[in-house]
């Protein structure tokens, strides 16, 4: 049985940086630079970011960040699962961890931007209750972007 864990960790570790580099290369293969809205390592280390790492048998296989916007909402950034670990439902586990953290922080909604050429990501978000919305924050309309949001269920 494969042991999978999800925990808040620092993004500044070699295995996570490797994942971020894989994510960068994947995004660059699908979209022009102006349609890639990636945040860098230093942005992921800010106090307003909760960064989660997925491990399988101790090895880093996925990551994502929850970036607080300062208005009661947060954005999912840098959600990525190692291609070698796809099919283990890590995206769903990471999303659940983000949502639990957002509820604990008392946030009202989680938002995201993803690309239209990523049907697996879009399917995950839709299956998890995210619905399309207008561009938010500093985003401008982009025919290659899909914007989504979901209200946060507050813990009783």
Which CATH number does the domain housing residue 51 bear?
A: 3.40.630.30
Range of the domain at 105: 2-149
* Per-residue pLDDT tens digits for 89-116: 999 999 999 999 999 999 999 999 999 9
Domain count, the chain: 1
Q: Which percentage of the chain shows pLDDT scores above 90? A: 88
User: Mean pLDDT across the stretch 70-93?
Assistant: 94
- Asked whether residue 156 is domain-assigned, the answer is no
On the question of pLDDT at 128 being above 80, the answer is yes
pTM of the predicted protein model: 0.94
- Asked whether residue 52 is domain-assigned, the answer is yes
Give the DSSP H/E element, type plus range, for residue 30.
Answer: helix 14-30
- Asked whether residue 41 is domain-assigned, the answer is yes
- Virtual CA dihedral for 31, 130, 98, 32, nearest 10 degrees? 10
- Asked whether residue 155 is domain-assigned, the answer is no
User: Mean pLDDT across the stretch 1-24?
Assistant: 93
On the question of pLDDT at 26 being above 80, the answer is yes
On the question of pLDDT at 156 being above 80, the answer is no
* Per-residue pLDDT tens digits for 27-53: 999 999 899 988 999 999 999 999 999
């Amino acid at each position: 049985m494969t042991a999978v864990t999800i925990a808040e960790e620092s993004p500044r570790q070699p295995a996570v940086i490797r994942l971020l580099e894989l994510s960068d290369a994947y995004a660059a293969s699908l979209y022009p630079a102006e349609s890639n809205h990636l945040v860098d390592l230093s942005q992921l280390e800010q106090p307003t970011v909760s960064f989660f790492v997925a491990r399988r048998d101790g090895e880093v296989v996925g990551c994502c960040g929850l970036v607080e916007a300062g208005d009661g909402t947060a954005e999912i950034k840098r959600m990525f699962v190692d291609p070698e670990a796809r099919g283990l439902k890590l995206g769903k586990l990471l999303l659940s961890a983000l949502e639990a953290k957002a509820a604990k922080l008392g946030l009202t909604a989680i938002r995201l931007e993803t690309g239209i050429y990523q049907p697996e990501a879009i399917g995950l978000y839709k299956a998890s209750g995210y619905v399309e919305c207008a561009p938010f924050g500093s985003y401008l309309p982009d025919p290659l972007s899909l914007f989504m949001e979901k209200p946060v269920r507050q813990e009783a």
